[in-house]
Structure 1
Amino acid sequence: MNKYLLEIGTEEVPARFIDDSLNQLKNKAEDMFKEERICFDNIKTYATPRRLVLLIENIAERQEDLEELVRGPAKRIAYDEEGNPTKALMGFAKGQGVEVDDIIIKEYKGEDYVFAQRVLKGKDSKEVLKENIPELIKSITFPKSMKWGKKSFRFVRPIRWVLSLFNNEPISFDFEGIKVSNITKGHRFLGSSNIEINSVDEYFEKLRENYVIVDQNERKELIIKGCRKLAQEKGGNILDDEELLNELTHIVEYPTPLRGRIKDDYLKLPKEVITTPMKEHQRYLPIVDDNKNLLPYFIAVRNGNDEYIDIVTKGNEKVLDARLEDAKFFYNEDVKKPLEDYVEGLKDIVFQEQLGTVWEKTNRIIRLSEKIGETLEVGDETLENTKRAAYLSKADLVTKMVYEFTELQGIMGREYAKTSGENEIVSLAIYEHYLPRFAQDELPTTTAGAMLSISDKIDTIAGCFAIGIQPTGSQDPYGLRRQALGIVNILLDRNIHISLDKLIDYSLNIYEENGLTFNYDEVKKEILEFFKARIRNMFIDNGIRYDVVDAVLNSNNYDIADLYIRASELNKWIKKDELSEILAAFNRVSNLAKKAENKVEINTELLIEEQEKTLYKTFKEVKNEVEICLNNKEYNKALDTMITLRGPIDEFFDNVMVMVDDEKLKNNRLSLIKEISDTMLKICDLSKIVNK
């Protein structure tokens, strides 16, 4: 079984770039092999901080032969009147390496042409690899890359060596002076810097002997098992943090977990004050008990073996002591005054040049929170707690702790609010107004926290759109997509029924009152479309058909919690056997309703035909029932009620001419159709449903 191994040896690659690099390497290699017509079984990718590795198994010896038809001149040019080959045909045949007798005649665009069937013999796979691997390496892109020396291409870090091996044969190629051979390097300090690999099969074991575990999944498993063992020895568990575990996996080549101790004096600090420096700055894993309470231990992962592990442990403890001593100092300084005393300092922090300071943003959030609370008719106590939390929500940005550890914003607001004597709801809402901070993050658990979070996020979105800095492509410096999804998730999670339309109006009105100039209608429309795109993707990800999502989004309803209920029910309702007949009837209504430019009140005296009288009478009854169903949020029942109009609608269209010359009669009939269409749109837009 033929195997090909490529190792790109580099300076240490940042951990955050590795997963995407491996995906690119795999996908681009697959595309290359398919394009070059080389069959293979498996492609695997591996990485350590100093190498990206590609392994391709069961490679064919050669490219597949390529048969192709090459079109030549038209038949009338290729042969003379007597049917003899012309110079044009003979020249074409010679150029393609075929005999005139082998020429094929086929029709092309209504005329006969001559074709030569040419067979391109496949090249040796090793030759193809030699030609294509350099470009494969250069094609990998990174969020940040660099050039070094006089190289013509960019890479995430300088490439120091390339190992290229087909079974047991090195496949060398010119790579701008970088050595390409069967030589690799082991661990930077523990392994050899000159390891000869004589066959692909010995690669992984030889590197293991030199303290490099190439398979990142194996390294991660070793880290998890080692850390759990050390934690369990002290009656605890490691604090779950998948992101940190992935980072640890990608910053070591030979992991050895070690356990250190946290001084008891530091355990008096709030839990996050201890764990944040541990995780964010030192990449240590905290140890907690079954109730998630912090134990006086941490786990670090060494890039090497267990030699002198006690000395290394002491060193890590000293480093953490210094970090926590700083944190203790900042905390003790911050709590010398109440949290509200820091609010004044927000006047000196710019939120965004055109949108003002964080102090100004705080005042907008207070007004928005109050407006949302009044709309939702929350109790007076909840409203007062929300306004108080809004006032204090950004105060911790001025504290020494958050200035040093920005990851603690909101968390320290909550802790300092407690030490300042604020009640539990206010303290928790200050923390929750930042939630969710990322995909799959926790959501606010309190009404005050939810309203405050929505206020903060809609203020940022509305302000950024008003000054024209909405997301474009991959650029989203203010995280507006994340914040929009946060609002949607909160509304759905807590089943909050408030119109997105109103939220946008509340926020834009405040900006207008504060003197910001912008095209109100245009900005509002852009924000609504921005949210619709987020909602659409989220609903589809939750298993709702795309056309169902479009149907409810086109109903001009901006209550997101309500939209999800409608979409879920419609997703089931469209499984009806008679769906095609239902859609046909209501699509006729929808299409004709668009012509009702001059909608008028329906005049019953102008209802002449029996079928239009029947339709009008049935519709009046149906409309009342639909309104009741909508008020009770019984959307399936509303749809079932609405489709009882199908028969009268079909009878109407089969027997009544709508677009007559009599303007009054025509407008009256169009108005009836428009009324039916508008009523259906209160539920959803059935014209968006695709009959599958």
Structure 2
Amino acid sequence: MAEFLLEIGTEEIPARMLRRAHKDLRDGLEKVLAEADLEFDEMESLGAPRQLVVTCRNIQAAQEDRVETVLGPPVKIAYDAAGNPSKALQGFLRANAGLNPDQLFRTQGKKGEVVAGKLEVKGRQTAAILAEAIPALLAKLHFPKKMRWGACEEPFIRPVRSILALFDGAVIPFEFAGVAAANQSFGHRFSGGEAFAVDAIDTYFQRKAERHIAVGHEEREAKIQAQIDNYLAQINGMLVADEALLTEVTDLVESPFVVLGSFDEKFLDIPREVLITSMREHQKSFTVQDHHGKLMPYFLSVASVPEDRKGLVRKGNEWVLNARLYDAKFFWETDREKKFEDLYNKLDHVTFIQELGSYRDKADRLTDLTAFMADSLSLSSVEKGQLKQAAQHAKSDLVSDLVFEFAELQGEIGGLLMRHQGADEPVCQAIYSHYAPSSMDDDLPLNQLGCLISVADKLDTLVGCFAVGLIPTGSKDPYALRRAAQGIIRILVEAELPLDLDALVAKSLELYREKAGVTPPENLAETLQQFCIERIRHYLRKVRGFDYDVVEGVLAAGHARVDQVYQRASAVAEQQEKEDFRGLSLSLKRMKNVIADESDKLGDFDENLLSDPAEQRFWREYTAVRHDIEKAVGEARYEDAMDLMVTLADPAEAYFGTDGVYINVDEDALRLNRKAMCREIGLTLGLVADISTLAPK
């Protein structure tokens, strides 16, 4: 067994792209080796901003020699009348050097008997296989955008500066992006960056470390964490947790060196959110707090240098951060003096989307749409007043100086400013959090008012974009409409809001027609409905983990009350593995099939025509639980409804069993009445879900 080492040296690759590139390169190499029937231990992918690295310590040096059966032409055209090889067979022999006519035999092919032969194939050297595969794999690595650099023809995310490729100590001969593979790597550029020779994996890691480059993600992260912990102990502080920032800075540096900086205590008067964002987004620095959660006038930055003896890195970070915080303090003090009514009026001059008017227009639509929701939820007059104020001013902070400087704090700044101006706390919280959730991992808004504004905001964007033709296509979704729809679904389910999604869409379309002068296409409501159903389907399957059959079954019973769709799916999934439920679902499948051909002929069911004991029993036991099923469904007690439905499994099986009722009798009245009974029972049993979709295949 041999060892394999690959390092692609580049200019700095953006941190957000680094780990996927490492994984894709490793996965691609493993696939190449597996397809070549080569044995190897698991590969390790690692690297730093200027290195993509893959290693494997045990890998088969060459393929095994093997014997392959190669198929030739059909027997009927392989020989001429005299029994000599035809031109077709001669071509086959030429294409498979090493075969001669005496070695051929007959075997069965896909379209009849063919001529075949056994061909000895010598195994290829693994290094040769890798030399062919690596350039193609590098060319196929996914990056959001690639460029051609200099005279190089191959596009790549950043210029390729060096390639180290070794198989058992020998260079693998290939070229990519105008750079030939060699046995050399380079150290940290701030330490000279001289080339050094490599002959093995262990040598590579040792010499990289000596030259101030930590190649492994885990190694760099551990170094960062250890230095941070040391500084925190010195100042008796705690880190404001930020795993995403830790991951990002780990992939921004080759030689992590943490510096502790400070800023003027007067800046602690700035809102916590502004301080943290300024440090995180602008300086990639960590915020420090005391053990009571109060921010301290310190920050921790990670530099990609071996050391900072003169403190220049610390001083530079302090100078930049203090300047930014000075601006932030000025903006905060200025914005606090502005009345929200004035900010709201200024929204007239801020375009939402060209065809959909200004942000003031949007704020007015949010006010109307949330009022519609409030009526549906029977909110109190106080809650309605708070909701109206929050909806009207949800977007007002977009014209504040702080949001202009810190766009990622939109909403949060609005909530803080409203609190400063004495608004009710529910109003402040609603504005503060109404952009949530921004992802599947994000928390919901802080209160019900915030949830309602968030739904209205996302729905207004979704409906408006669809109304003017800005519809997602394929992987392109510039207005993040799929994410908006997913946020709506999450809020309706997880905040348990009893709102009709179809009614909300209809109201939003009405507001666009009446207040924005937009004329949506006639079938837009149906298009939006299908779009939302697809998002519900995604949420239930991918996020909540329900089986495909369960999801399709509950959606067949309705989708508009999304909160209830989830509850119904939970109830069905609970029953799914029970024997009686499986029997009932199979009976319902038969029920649907038996009425399908005459569904348009069915009239009202007549109980007086029941004659067979099995059908009399089925109807009797059904009527005994029908009212309770409907009552349980009406009260959203879906588990109880399913329990009642399952009690009909036995009479349903008796009705449809081999000794049961023959439905398709010749007498029209009796046949159609039996089918009408099946239809009526099926409608009740389908109130929670079309459980026939869960019948055993």
After TM superposition, the score normalised by the length of structure 1 is 0.94
* Structure 1 residue 232: Cα displacement: 2.9
CA distance in 1, matches of 2:495, 2:456: 15
CA contact (8 A) 2:582 2:695 kept: no
Report the counterpart of residue 578 of structure 2 in structure 1. 576
Secondary structure of the equivalent of 1:163?
Answer: strand
* Structure 1 residue 636: Cα displacement: 3.0
CA distance in 2, matches of 1:462, 1:86: 70
* Structure 1 residue 195: Cα displacement: 1.9
* Structure 1 residue 576: Cα displacement: 1.2
Report the counterpart of residue 550 of structure 1 in structure 2. 552
CA contact (8 A) 1:586 1:646 kept: no
Write out aligned runs for 1:655-670 (5 A).
658=663, 666-670=671-675
Report the counterpart of residue 11 of structure 1 in structure 2. 11
Gaps of 5+ in 1: none
Secondary structure of the equivalent of 1:54?
Answer: strand
CA distance in 2, matches of 1:85, 1:548: 62
CA distance in 2, matches of 1:157, 1:434: 35
Give the AA of the match of 1:680. L
Q: 1:591 to 1:284 in 2, by over 3 A?
A: same
CA distance in 2, matches of 1:110, 1:168: 49
Write out aligned runs for 1:229-308 (5 A).
229-308=230-309
Gaps of 5+ in 2: none
- Per mean C-alpha deviation after superposition, the further-off stretch among 388-397 and 421-430 is 421-430
Report the counterpart of residue 476 of structure 1 in structure 2. 477
* Structure 1 residue 248: Cα displacement: 0.4
* Structure 1 residue 91: Cα displacement: 5.8
Report the counterpart of residue 687 of structure 2 in structure 1. 682
- Per mean C-alpha deviation after superposition, the further-off stretch among 297-306 and 598-607 is 598-607
Secondary structure of the equivalent of 2:497?
Answer: coil
Q: 1:200 to 1:643 in 2, by over 3 A?
A: closer
Report the counterpart of residue 518 of structure 2 in structure 1. 516
Query: 1:613-649 deviations in whole A, cap 9, x for unaligned?
Result: 5544443333212112213333233223224434444
Write out aligned runs for 1:297-376 (5 A).
297-308=298-309, 310-376=311-377
- Per mean C-alpha deviation after superposition, the further-off stretch among 476-485 and 99-108 is 99-108
Report the counterpart of residue 143 of structure 1 in structure 2. 144
Write out aligned runs for 1:466-545 (5 A).
466-514=467-515, 515-520=517-522, 522-540=523-541, 541-545=543-547
Query: 1:240-288 deviations in whole A, cap 9, x for unaligned?
Result: 1111111101111000111111201111111112111111011110001
CA distance in 2, matches of 1:176, 1:221: 34
- Per mean C-alpha deviation after superposition, the further-off stretch among 543-552 and 148-157 is 543-552
CA contact (8 A) 2:6 2:54 kept: yes
Secondary structure of the equivalent of 2:508?
Answer: helix
CA distance in 2, matches of 1:257, 1:405: 25
CA contact (8 A) 2:344 2:396 kept: yes
Q: 1:110 to 1:330 in 2, by over 3 A?
A: closer
Query: 1:199-233 deviations in whole A, cap 9, x for unaligned?
Result: 23200110111111111111011112211221232
Q: Does 1:642 align with 2:626?
A: no
Query: 1:18-75 deviations in whole A, cap 9, x for unaligned?
Result: 1221121112111222233332112111121111111123111112445432222323
Secondary structure of the equivalent of 2:274?
Answer: helix
* Structure 1 residue 235: Cα displacement: 1.8
Give the AA of the match of 2:693. K
Q: 1:28 to 1:449 in 2, by over 3 A?
A: same
CA distance in 2, matches of 1:482, 1:360: 23
* Structure 1 residue 147: Cα displacement: 0.7
Report the counterpart of residue 51 of structure 1 in structure 2. 51
CA distance in 2, matches of 1:206, 1:655: 82
CA distance in 2, matches of 1:176, 1:313: 38
CA distance in 1, matches of 2:483, 2:299: 32
CA distance in 1, matches of 2:222, 2:450: 38
CA distance in 2, matches of 1:66, 1:384: 81
Query: 1:105-138 deviations in whole A, cap 9, x for unaligned?
Result: 2122463221112232111112222222222211
Write out aligned runs for 1:213-224 (5 A).
213-224=214-225
CA distance in 2, matches of 1:371, 1:539: 27
Q: 1:572 to 1:360 in 2, by over 3 A?
A: same
Query: 1:567-617 deviations in whole A, cap 9, x for unaligned?
Result: 222212111124443222110112234441255333445556565555444
CA distance in 1, matches of 2:683, 2:563: 21
- Per mean C-alpha deviation after superposition, the further-off stretch among 589-598 and 345-354 is 589-598
CA distance in 2, matches of 1:311, 1:76: 85
Report the counterpart of residue 630 of structure 1 in structure 2. 633
Report the counterpart of residue 112 of structure 1 in structure 2. 113
- Per mean C-alpha deviation after superposition, the further-off stretch among 245-254 and 287-296 is 287-296
Q: 1:584 to 1:177 in 2, by over 3 A?
A: closer
Q: 1:185 to 1:310 in 2, by over 3 A?
A: same
Report the counterpart of residue 386 of structure 1 in structure 2. 387
Give the AA of the match of 1:570. V
* Structure 1 residue 348: Cα displacement: 1.0
Secondary structure of the equivalent of 2:600?
Answer: coil
CA contact (8 A) 1:338 1:416 kept: no
- Per mean C-alpha deviation after superposition, the further-off stretch among 109-118 and 156-165 is 109-118
CA contact (8 A) 2:584 2:652 kept: no
- Indicate which of 619, 622, 636 corresponds to 2:622: 619
- Indicate which of 583, 593, 605 corresponds to 1:602: 605
Q: 1:113 to 1:341 in 2, by over 3 A?
A: same
Query: 1:351-394 deviations in whole A, cap 9, x for unaligned?
Result: 11122211111111111111111111122211211110001100
Give the AA of the match of 2:141. I
- Per mean C-alpha deviation after superposition, the further-off stretch among 214-223 and 106-115 is 106-115
Report the counterpart of residue 585 of structure 1 in structure 2. 587
Q: 1:684 to 1:85 in 2, by over 3 A?
A: same
CA distance in 2, matches of 1:470, 1:663: 51
CA contact (8 A) 2:154 2:176 kept: no
CA contact (8 A) 1:579 1:691 kept: no
Q: 1:550 to 1:202 in 2, by over 3 A?
A: same
Q: 1:420 to 1:166 in 2, by over 3 A?
A: same
Q: Does 1:161 align with 2:162?
A: yes
CA distance in 2, matches of 1:320, 1:419: 25
Q: 1:81 to 1:292 in 2, by over 3 A?
A: same
* Structure 1 residue 11: Cα displacement: 1.1
* Structure 1 residue 308: Cα displacement: 2.0
The two structures, once aligned, show a CA RMSD in angstroms of 2.4
Report the counterpart of residue 63 of structure 1 in structure 2. 63
* Structure 1 residue 486: Cα displacement: 1.7
CA distance in 2, matches of 1:113, 1:62: 32
Q: Does 1:421 align with 2:426?
A: no
- Per mean C-alpha deviation after superposition, the further-off stretch among 198-207 and 213-222 is 198-207
Report the counterpart of residue 76 of structure 1 in structure 2. 76
CA distance in 1, matches of 2:301, 2:310: 11
CA contact (8 A) 2:583 2:653 kept: no
Secondary structure of the equivalent of 1:114?
Answer: strand
Q: 1:117 to 1:386 in 2, by over 3 A?
A: same
Report the counterpart of residue 24 of structure 2 in structure 1. 24
* Structure 1 residue 509: Cα displacement: 2.3
- Per mean C-alpha deviation after superposition, the further-off stretch among 658-667 and 611-620 is 658-667
Q: Does 1:671 align with 2:680?
A: no
- How many pairs are equivalent? 691
